[in-house]
């Protein structure tokens, strides 16, 4: 009997055909693979956050194998000699063993911490990009709210993870958190005893924080990221205005293969940078802080950067107590509970407030340049100035000590700065935006400065401008502003740029000149020879 020959090359096609016959997955999968993503560096900020979260999951999984979430008192007998024989919690002892006795444990712990800081930073900068470019407008209000939820969940995940080692620094932060909960009128004591299962610190808080940190919060973040990416696929990606780009299309690269390959390489870059930071830059050396004791508090104890604004608000707020109805409202309530509550409430409703004020209820897929919306840009600068003052005030004791300044003077400087810096930032930013708008209109009307000075018959000197388009009878350009970059240098209009010299580049003339979007490429011609001498 003759054996049947099997065509190995046809096996993948037959397998895919069989799967499609059963699950009808070809059509939706084709739409996903053909999804077009615009190519701009600012869109990589969200990818940095996503890749940092993946690194958090990988390194965190490693750490869970060696960490013990228990406040049971043990005697340390590990490799770190200065603490040998000291009584400490089992959580702190396991963190020390993870750092000194587990192979690769210290670099994994430091990579985890750096990835956490990068994750929060990428979310913050990504949300700034969305705010200043108007990417939160209809129909993307839901994704804006999801991004804000991701920030606060990352904030909470960072705090719970920061508290797990039970060293003196993290214990101080946990004690401050309990004081904030106690400052809430009526329900404060109930909330505190519910979380700590009694008086601070209790015996169960590490186990509860551990479950929240490794399971509940990451699972919620993962679900929100999935919804966020699903909405990006469904609603199309925003893009900058430019040639061929409208509100109804996306100009860029398909999801497979080019975009996927580029993102894979970008993930390896992010992973490599965080690995280098974890191996070269020390962070959170818990062995220097010692175990947490409720009766010891150290000066110059600063939290991670994204919590410092809250610490600064507590330091700047006056020690005012309000007594009402038999209850005492301590001063800590306003900066530590009311302020975060306001920050949680206002940003999610901002898209709807702006739409109502501007009477703009249309769907938008094209981004805006920050200069074209000066009020929004100035409002964002105002918020950033507010945050910077609070963050600097979170370390006012360190600044006062290092620069030999009175701590009281630093506190009052922060209070005054908190009142003056935000409105000043608003005014300056608003005027800068108007100036940039005016400059763009001048270039469109008069052309690009050539650097050529011409002397007129009457002796006056004028600079020659190169129009961007044919001019009218008054000599003014006929182009209208379209919300995109205006070329302002001659090498953006077709003049050949100088050859790039260096170890990695050959000394040669470019095949064509770099041009701005909207202008066709200009090929090299003999009358445009490059001057190299």
Say whether 323 sits in a helix, a strand or coil.
strand
Q: Which domain holds residue 503?
A: 489-533
Name the token pair of 248.
């109804």
Q: List helix spans (H) across 72-204.
A: 90-100, 105-133, 141-163, 168-182, 188-196
Q: Is 100 contained in some domain?
A: yes
Domain presence at residue 209: yes
Considering the domain boundaries, does residue 11 fall inside one?
no
C-beta separation of 119 from 47 below 8 A: no
Nearest to 395 by CA among 377, 382, 407: 407
For residue 372, being part of any structural domain is answered with: no
User: What is the count of structural domains for the chain?
Assistant: 2
Residue where a domain stops, chosen among 304, 326, 350: 304
- Tally Cβ neighbours within 10 Å of residue 143: 19
Of 286, 377, 319, the C-alpha closest to 82 is 286
> Which residues, given as ranges, of the chain have pLDDT below 50?
496, 507, 509-522, 524-533
Residue pointed to by tokens 């009218």:
472
- Matching residue, tokens 């890749």: 51
| pLDDT tens readout for residues 418-472 | 999 999 999 999 999 999 999 888 888 888 888 888 898 988 998 888 888 777 7
Q: What pLDDT is recorded for position 359?
A: 93
The tokens describing 455, both together, are 């002397």
Query: Is residue 287 assigned to a domain?
Result: yes
As a whole number of angstroms, the distance between CA 336 and CA 317 comes to 10
| 3-state class (DSSP) for residue 510 | coil
- Is 59 inside a domain boundary? yes
CATH number for the domain harbouring residue 147: 1.20.810.10
For 344-367, the pLDDT digits (tens) are 999 999 999 999 999 999 999 999
Q: Is 123 domain-assigned?
A: yes
The CA-atom distances, in angstroms, between 397 and each of 167, 191, 294, 300, 312 are 21, 31, 21, 7, 10
DSSP-based three-state secondary structure for 471:
strand
Terminal Cα distance for the chain, rounded: 81
Residue 132, in any domain of the structure: yes
């Amino acid at each position: 009997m003759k054996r049947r020959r099997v065509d190995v090359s046809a096996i993948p096609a037959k397998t895919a055909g069989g799967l499609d016959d059963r699950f009808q997955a070809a059509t939706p999968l084709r739409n996903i693979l053909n999804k077009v993503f615009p190519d701009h560096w600012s869109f990589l900020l969200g990818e940095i956050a996503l890749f940092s979260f993946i690194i958090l999951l990988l390194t965190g999984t490693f750490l869970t194998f060696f960490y013990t979430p228990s406040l049971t008192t043990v005697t340390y007998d590990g490799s770190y000699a200065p603490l040998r024989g000291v009584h400490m919690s089992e959580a702190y002892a396991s963190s020390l063993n993870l750092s000194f006795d587990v192979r690769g444990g210290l670099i994994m712990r430091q990579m985890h911490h750096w990835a956490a800081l990068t994750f929060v930073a990428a979310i913050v900068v990504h949300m700034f990009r969305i705010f200043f470019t108007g990417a939160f407008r209809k129909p993307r209000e839901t994704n804006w709210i999801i991004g804000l939820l991701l920030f606060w969940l990352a904030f909470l995940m960072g705090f719970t993870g920061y508290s797990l080692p039970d060293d003196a620094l993290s214990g101080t932060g946990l004690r401050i958190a309990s004081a904030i909960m106690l400052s809430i009128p009526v329900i404060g004591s109930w909330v505190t005893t519910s979380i700590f299962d009694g008086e601070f610190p209790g015996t169960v808080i590490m186990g509860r924080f551990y479950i929240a940190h490794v399971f509940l919060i990451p699972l919620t973040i993962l679900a929100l990221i999935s919804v966020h990416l699903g909405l990006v696929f469904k609603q199309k990606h925003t893009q900058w205005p430019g040639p061929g780009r409208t509100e109804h299309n996306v100009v860029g690269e398909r999801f497979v293969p080019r975009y996927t390959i580029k993102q894979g390489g970008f993930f390896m870059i992010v992973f490599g940078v965080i690995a280098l930071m974890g191996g070269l830059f020390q962070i959170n050396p818990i062995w220097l802080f010692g175990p947490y004791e409720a009766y010891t508090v150290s000066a110059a104890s600063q939290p991670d950067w994204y919590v410092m604004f809250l610490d600064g608000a507590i330091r700047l707020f006056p020690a005012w107590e309000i007594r009402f109805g038999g209850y005492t409202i301590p001063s800590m309530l306003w900066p530590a509970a009311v302020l975060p509550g306001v920050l949680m409430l206002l940003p999610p409703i901002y898209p709807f407030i702006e739409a109502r004020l501007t009477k703009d209820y249309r769907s938008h897929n094209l981004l805006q340049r920050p200069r074209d919306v000066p009020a929004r840009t100035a409002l964002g600068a105002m918020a950033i100035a507010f945050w910077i003052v609070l963050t600097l005030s979170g370390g006012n004791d360190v600044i006062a000590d290092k620069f030999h300044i009175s701590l009281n003077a630093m506190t009052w400087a922060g209070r005054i700065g908190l009142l003056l810096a935000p409105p000043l930032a608003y005014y300056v930013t608003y005027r800068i935006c108007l100036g940039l708008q005016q400059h763009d209109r001048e270039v469109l009307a008069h052309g690009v400065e050539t650097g050529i000075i011409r002397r007129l018959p009457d002796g006056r000197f004028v600079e020659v401008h190169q129009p961007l388009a044919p001019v009218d009878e008054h000599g003014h350009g006929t182009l209208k502003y379209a919300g995109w970059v205006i070329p302002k240098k001659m090498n953006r209009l077709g003049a050949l740029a100088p050859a790039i010299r260096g170890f990695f580049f050959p000394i040669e003339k470019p095949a064509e000149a770099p041009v701005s979007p909207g202008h066709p490429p200009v090929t090299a011609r003999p009358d445009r020879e490059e001057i190299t001498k």
